[in-house]
């Protein structure tokens, strides 16, 4: 079977000649927590300061998490796994996702660097801002969306570097490992296989003998 990666070590391959661009492409896995937990806290404060009820807070928080899982799936399947034909397109694809498949255990490129996540977070905020007539509901929804993203980032790092004892997490990890080492055209959900099940892009279950 053809090997689907270049190296399974934890080393980082250099992507840019420029030192500052190279630095922006790497990040310690804990950095997103320091950036986005305060965002969730601020949005939660805005929601309750505006008088939202607990029921509506958790309702829209859950909605934000669910929308994140769909966003994660769609971005992974249709953006990160889009196969461009031009040289510059292939270069961009390698920078954004190809490098992760070539070096799946690269510890510095397993969570999204702030140079990419912050512009995306701002873009999604303004998209949701335009969609919500009642801005009070935007705050818990966006909190859930960002919480979903953080869960995705932390789980993704853990899947490549930790051995889980939980049977559920073992299944989640196996789903992602099959995407890397068996068939990258299947299993696009990382934090959840929900959308792979719904859209039938998951891996077939092994029949019990």
* One-character DSSP codes across 86-120: SHHHHHHHIIIIIHHHHSTT-TTSSS--HHHHHHH
pLDDT of residue 5: 67
| Burial class, 68, CB count within 10 angstroms (exposed 0-12 / middle 13-18 / buried 19+) | buried
Measured CA to CA, the distance from residue 12 to residue 108 in angstroms comes to 7
Q: Where are the domains of the chain?
A: 28-166
pLDDT of residue 11: 73
DSSP secondary structure letter of residue 163? -
Helices (H) and strands (E) in the chain, counts: 9, 0
pLDDT of residue 205: 76
Taking only the tens of pLDDT, the chain with its 209 residues reads: 456 667 676 777 888 888 998 888 889 999 999 999 999 999 999 999 999 999 999 999 999 999 999 999 999 999 999 888 898 888 888 887 888 888 888 888 889 999 999 999 999 999 999 999 999 999 999 999 999 999 999 999 999 988 898 899 999 999 999 999 988 999 999 998 999 999 999 988 765 54
Tell me the three-class secondary structure of 24-40, residue by residue.
HCCCCCCHHHHHHHHHH
Measured CA to CA, the distance from residue 37 to residue 147 in angstroms comes to 8
pLDDT of residue 209: 47
pLDDT of residue 194: 92
Residue pair 187/176 in contact by the 8 Å Cβ criterion = yes
Measured CA to CA, the distance from residue 94 to residue 177 in angstroms comes to 19
Measured CA to CA, the distance from residue 24 to residue 32 in angstroms comes to 14
Residue 187 gets the label, from left (phi > 0), alpha (psi -120 to 50) or beta, of left
């Amino acid at each position: 079977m053809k090997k689907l990666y270049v190296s399974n070590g934890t080393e980082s391959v250099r992507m840019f000649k420029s030192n500052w661009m190279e630095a922006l492409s790497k990040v310690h896995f804990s950095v997103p927590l320091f950036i986005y937990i305060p965002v969730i806290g601020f949005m939660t404060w805005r929601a309750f300061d505006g008088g939202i009820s607990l029921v509506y807070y958790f309702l829209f928080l859950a909605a934000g998490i669910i929308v994140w899982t769909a966003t994660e799936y769609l971005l992974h399947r249709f953006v990160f796994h889009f196969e461009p034909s031009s040289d510059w397109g292939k270069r961009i694809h390698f920078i954004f996702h190809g490098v992760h498949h070539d070096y799946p255990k690269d510890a510095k490129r397993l969570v999204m660097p702030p140079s990419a996540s912050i512009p995306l977070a701002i873009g999604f905020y303004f998209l949701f801002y335009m969609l919500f007539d009642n801005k009070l509901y935007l705050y818990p929804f966006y909190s859930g969306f960002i919480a979903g993203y953080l869960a995705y980032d932390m789980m993704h790092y853990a899947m490549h570097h930790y051995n889980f004892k939980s049977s559920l997490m073992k299944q989640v990890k196996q789903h992602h490992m099959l995407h890397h080492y068996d068939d990258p055209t299947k299993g696009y959900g990382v934090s959840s296989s929900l959308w792979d099940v719904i859209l039938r892009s998951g891996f077939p279950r092994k029949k019990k003998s």
